Amino acid sequence: MVSIGKDRILHVNGKPFFPIGARHIPVGATLKLLRETGFNCFRWTAFGMDAAPTARALPEDLGGMMFYPYVFDRGDLSVDAESRQKDLRDLVLKVREHPALLCYEQRNEPAYTFRNQAVPSRRPRD
């Protein structure tokens, strides 16, 4: 069970937990290797945005690691709502009872729309 205490410290099964997460698993790395080098959790790209071996299929043996599924753009229901809602629902139903589930990661910069807009020129400061 994961909770946030009154002290704003993350707790896993009642014990303080400081997440040291592998956001992108290096090609050729294993969860065992990540664990041995100090990581205690990893981002699982359930929708296959990574070339890592954990993309799409969550390994059965996590070797003591926690994981956090990346919901990518499925949390933005302003576009293709029905399909994204189904993907999100399916993901949550698949992992919500998993003992190593730490949290869910939403797109980390949902308002970062620079790709769709021209970048204004900057003037040097006086």
**Assessment of whether the complete model's pTM goes beyond 0.85:** no
Q: Say what the pLDDT of residue 82 is.
A: 94
pLDDT for the residue 79: 85
pLDDT of residue 116: 55
pLDDT digits (tens, 9 = 90+) for 72-107: 888 888 888 999 999 999 999 999 999 999 999 987
Give the Cα separation of 91 and 86 in Å (integer).
Answer: 9
Assess contact for 25 and 54: CB atoms under 8 A.
yes
State the chain's maximal CA–CA distance in angstroms.
59
Three state DSSP letters for 29-68: CCHHHHHHCCCCEEEECCCCCCCCCCCCCCCCCCCCCEEE
**pLDDT band with cut points at 50, 70 and 90 for residue 119:** very low
Compute the distance between CA of residue 47 and CA of residue 126 in angstroms, rounded to an integer.
47
Q: What is the pLDDT of residues 23-49, one digit of tens each?
A: 888 888 889 999 999 999 999 988 866
pLDDT score of 118 more than 90: no
Residue 39, both tokens: 């990581």
CB 46 within 8 Å of CB 68: no
